[in-house]
Amino acid sequence: MIAELQCVVLDCPDPLQLAEFYRSLLGGTVNKQDRRWALNDNWSTLHTPHGLVLAFQRASDYRPPQWPDPSRPQQFHLDFGVPDLDQAQAQVLAWGATVLDEGSDGRCWRIYADPAGHPFCLVWH
């Protein structure tokens, strides 16, 4: 091993708004002082309770993914384990997510887009 994952960085049009969305989902502290990053209008962070750090970077020409359109691919996505899919869905929708695939065929996951259009999944565990 020669490296350690520092954080996952998502491009978006509004870094603070997206950091707050993921704070609502995961808990933690938005824009906690950290020697590794300078916080400003173009960069926000979320330090989660379990140590994961997500960072959000302003992209002036940001074009969100269009799942499942391959001409604007998702690039990556995050999976979040939840004990109750229906309850978790209601919460992420209230925080600004949109449904991409409700998994009505009995699957144990559902697909959403965050407020900046990044796909993510809620997975029953």
CATH of residue 113: 3.10.180.10
Q: How confident is the model at residue 74 (pLDDT cuts 50, 70, 90)?
A: confident
> Residue 109 domain-assigned?
yes
Q: Where are the alpha helices (DSSP H) in the chain?
A: 15-26, 85-94
Domain count, the chain: 2
Same-domain check for residues 52 and 87: no
Q: Is the pLDDT of residue 63 over 80?
A: yes
Tell me which residue has tokens 């590794």.
Answer: 36
> Residue 94 domain-assigned?
yes
Q: Which of 2, 1, 22 is nearest to 12 (CA)?
A: 22
> Residue 100 domain-assigned?
yes
Which domain range does residue 17 map to? 8-58
Tell me which residue has tokens 């940001």.
Answer: 62
Q: Is the pLDDT of residue 35 over 90?
A: no
Q: Is the pLDDT of residue 93 over 90?
A: yes
> Residue 63 domain-assigned?
no
> Residue 105 domain-assigned?
yes
